[in-house]
Chain A
């Protein structure tokens, strides 16, 4: 909000320069973000919090400045000529709860013309466009004392009276901005005997506005129910300077003075006469109950500062009336000024005290604490998973939690959660899978020439379960390009399915489980022959593989892309593995190599299971060393070099024992259809 320093200083004598004044206002909560311009044109750009409509004008900020510097604030008392006698304009308030007060007065024989330079220049300085002396007078008063007012062409008001009523459903009002608005029964209007002439507290009517032809004027200054104004403003998409103030709460006692101030400004610039007295219709008083202030409560919130006389000085300087006068009471009754609708409770007064005393004057202390520190159940697991993924060479990423409806449906069977007011169609559902986000990030990299990429993300996916939103913890990781870059030491080695499988194995190792099983039942967006899932105790904890070539083609991915998903919520059901000590072997290991030919249909898992079933407890590992196809190996078969390592914890193995075991292994593998090569 723009505030002219010179205008503000009209209401209070301050012997500080503008920079200091800006700092002072900032320190009590009216943050001056910048000082623009010099001298009389100096403008403060002030950020005023939504709870302080009373500060959203020059007089209100002058009041704060006067309180800071303990100066007297001048009152606004418009000096008006004697009015010609006339019958008061009848004002009929049909909704006293929504319009507790409506003040008006009439002027006759006014010349509508441009405002005098002093008024026009001030408005221009605040980026307000001068329109005419009558309209500018209301605008001037708005920026001067924060009270929205309105002026009608009195001759266009039919029936000689004003009615404040609910609109009739379907009633039409053309507002000042030229737009015809269809009203509902929830809208409150100012109407003449026939028609609505203003949307209450939001905007006046087009048909009764001041024009060059206007001679007689009616000035309105009312107090409206904030919620009614806010709803109307939202309903009609019409946020105005008036609605902004009314919905935050205007000063109930300012309706007469603002009416008179507008009248004074119009008379000064456009001549004319006052016709009749001010009409002040009060349908209902706004009750601002006095608040009790206990010194014990001040101390409980703020500590030992400030002292009592300072507390009382601060409150009085802001316009609060405090009784009794004495400093040695333990409780005071505080009357709240009409412009401070935000102050209703003792804590509100305590905030005023702290604010004016100066937050920075309170000593910094650290409180003692005797409560417990509680760990989140999965915090350590997540930290372990994360650090292992980092160690495996995946960069950590964060992607937005939104997805497009197509991606939502393509990558998950779950029931997506729609956003009612999304920023875009591509971000209109909550993600049901981490895959689209990961794919997008990999694509983003490939499109920018980043060929070697490994990423992971830990986050939530969202779906409805019955009617309730369910957020589940997931991990995703993706890779493309080379694991090893080509160089003088080695040729390039592209990332493969088995890199991902190995990384998953390494990752799962941090958890405590007897065994992990892999099978090929993974989602259909993976390559049908290069996909797998990992199961612990029959529960899927991961699925991964190469992305389906169709999807890769549709996304124009120019190299193989691998994706993995971790069902962290499932995985976190397992405890972290506690490392345990095992005695180091004291006897040497014996290695035996076997070269076999198998039909392609025999998979390594079967070989491993078959050998495992022999129950040779001295068999430590069985590792596939080499696989050959083609060459001397007939089509449909492959040659496999296996290395078995035997070791005992109790003794050195005898040659004949190893020979016996080897023979068992060979026999078992021959039963599987393998044939031993030489």
Chain B
């Protein structure tokens, strides 16, 4: 803006009205053109409202404004035969000047507010002011996602104690005393229990399955429940083991449940959790409290089932393209025998149960390579899930 303004200010001397020596149309044209050029260029040079006011008065003041002068200098002395022609020209010229002055006023007002805005300048490239939000724990978040899928299928949520009795953790789940199947659950036992009968001895539950029995003692069939919670095993901590981890157990008991219902429910669930493109497979397995028992595998959602990630072998699925996700099965009739009094006659009801390790799912889902990270509270880790 500066150089332009200088240029305008150093222009030729300002316009001054003079008498006309010649009233021919050509001479009139020249005089009009000169005046209009002058008013336009003066208007263009205006910068603020006070300059505009002076400009307005110079041209339009009743007393001695240029338009008034033109009236006196051009129209009044005009020869009789030219008077009409000159009068018309002067009127046109007046309305042109008035328009120019009005438009200049508008422009001056705008530039004034622009100048004011300029002082509000900020560097918008500076970082924003962030309000820290807490981050959800990846395991709890995964657990909540799983629970909510089952809630949408009509499952209620149940809970149970983490310090359990042998009866609920083992016996009523068809792990008889001295059965080798107990070896698969490296159990942490509570101290000073030897004086009690075996079934009353306390231990840290090795799975969330005891809540199956607790719930069936409490509610009559039909039932649909999921049981999220902490479980414990005597596993020394390493990248894939923790003595405490999380499980979600599920149980459906009704008068018409078949093996296909177990498969269909879990297939639906895992697609809701991991996306509809995953495929499922069921393999025979063994759990004392289900029969038939199965393991559900899903097509590897890390490598898409190919076994390879670019040029590297896919580790989560050991290149098989399949990942073991959960154990499940039809409820063993022996389990129903323990709650037969409450309406669970194995001749009447059937059901299915399933259980999955949430921490392992979260490890896979987020590509975390060390389960210990879940339990250290390192904010550099936690913030990644915000």
Contact = CB atoms under 8 A, between A and B. Distances in A.
Interface of A: 26-29, 31, 33-34, 49-52, 226-227, 230-231, 247-248, 300-303, 345, 347-348, 350-351, 354-355, 359-360, 362-376, 379, 389-402, 417-423, 427, 430, 440-442, 444-445, 448, 450, 452-456, 459-460, 462, 469, 471, 487-489
Contact of A418 (B126, B153, B191): B191
A396 B180 contact: no
A450 B378 contact: yes
Given A29-B283, A300-B350, A366-B264, A354 B163 contact: no
Contacts of B188: 419-423
Contact of A445 (B256, B268, B377): B377
Interface stretch (B5-13, B27-35, B131-139, B301-309): B131-139
Given A31-B283, A398-B139, A398-B375, A300 B181 contact: no
Contacts of A302: 258-260
A347 B332 contact: yes
B350 A301 contact: yes
Interface stretch (B15-23, B62-70, B104-112, B289-297): B289-297
B292 A401 contact: no
B114 interface: no
A454 B134 contact: yes
A469 B318 contact: no
A27 B285 CA distance: 10
Interface stretch (B37-45, B73-81, B82-90, B154-162): B154-162
B180 A364 contact: no
Given A33-B318, A366-B153, 17 more contacts: A31-B283, A302-B260, A347-B333, A359-B284, A360-B281, A362-B259, A365-B264, A373-B154, A375-B156, A379-B157, A396-B137, A396-B382, A400-B375, A419-B191, A421-B234, A469-B190, A488-B126
Contacts of B291: 347-348, 350-351
A364 B204 contact: no
A462 B137 contact: no
B254 interface: yes
Interface string B359-384: 00000000000000011111110110
The 4 A-B pairs with the shortest beta carbon distances in the complex, nearest first, are A441-B377, A29-B284, A49-B286, A364-B264
23 contacts: A50-B184, A300-B350, A347-B332, A359-B281, A359-B284, A362-B259, A362-B263, A364-B260, A364-B263, A364-B267, A367-B252, A367-B257, A369-B222, A373-B154, A394-B134, A395-B134, A396-B137, A396-B382, A450-B380, A469-B161, A469-B163, A487-B127, A487-B129
Contacts of A49: 285-286
B136 A396 contact: yes
B129 A445 contact: no
A414 to B, nearest CB: 14
Contacts of B161: 469, 471
A381 to B, nearest CB: 14
B343 interface: no
B189 interface: yes
B181 A421 contact: no
Contact of A391 (B134, B242, B380): B134
Interface string B112-131: 00000000000000110101
A369 B158 contact: no
B252 A419 contact: no
Given A393-B133, A419-B189, A469-B202, A371 B222 contact: yes
Contacts of B93: none
A367 B8 CA distance: 88
A118 to B, nearest CB: 32
A401 B382 contact: no
A397 B189 contact: no
Contact of A230 (B180, B237, B257, B285): B180
A398 B140 contact: yes
Contacts of B375: 398-400
Contacts of A348: 291
A27 B382 contact: no
B252 to A, nearest CB: 7
A440 B375 CA distance: 11
Contacts of B282: 359-360
In this complex, which of B151, B202, B256 has the most chain A Cβ atoms within 10 angstroms of its Cβ?
A: B202
Nearest to A369: B154
B286 A401 contact: no
Contacts of A444: 376-378
A367 B156 contact: no
Contacts of B244: 400-402
A4 B291 CA distance: 30
A454 B154 contact: no
Main secondary structure of the interface of B (DSSP, over half): mixed
A355 B376 CA distance: 43
Contacts of A28: 284
A226 B177 CA distance: 12
B50 interface: no
B321 to A, nearest CB: 12
B103 interface: no
A175 to B, nearest CB: 21
Contacts of B139: 398
Contacts of B127: 487
B158 to A, nearest CB: 7
B183 A50 contact: yes
B283 A231 contact: no
A469 B154 CA distance: 32
B339 to A, nearest CB: 16
B224 A369 contact: yes
Contact of B178 (A230, A374, A448): A230
B292 A27 contact: no
Given A301-B259, A364-B263, A354 B292 contact: yes
A400 B204 CA distance: 13
A360 B237 CA distance: 36
Interface string B303-347: 000000000000000100000000000101100000000000000
A291 to B, nearest CB: 13
Contacts of A368: 256
B240 interface: no
Contact of B163 (A34, A370, A422, A471): A471
A430 B163 contact: yes
Given A303-B259, A489-B129, A396 B163 contact: no
Interface string B222-261: 1110000010101011000011100000001010111111
A421 B193 CA distance: 12
A363 B163 contact: no
A444 B258 CA distance: 50
B184 A373 contact: no
A355 B259 CA distance: 12
Contact of B286 (A51, A398, A440): A51
Contacts of B126: 488
B379 A395 contact: yes
Contacts of A442: 377
B192 interface: yes
B136 A390 contact: yes
B275 interface: no
Contacts of A422: 188
A236 to B, nearest CB: 15
B265 interface: yes
In this complex, which of B155, B156, B190 has the most chain A Cβ atoms within 10 angstroms of its Cβ?
A: B190
A456 B134 contact: yes
Given A231-B178, A418-B192, A370 B259 contact: no
A376 to B, nearest CB: 5
A400 B375 CA distance: 7
B25 interface: no
A50 B181 contact: yes
B174 to A, nearest CB: 11
Interface string B34-58: 0000000000000000000000000
Contacts of B222: 369-371
Given A369-B224, A430-B163, A398 B374 contact: yes
A471 B224 contact: no
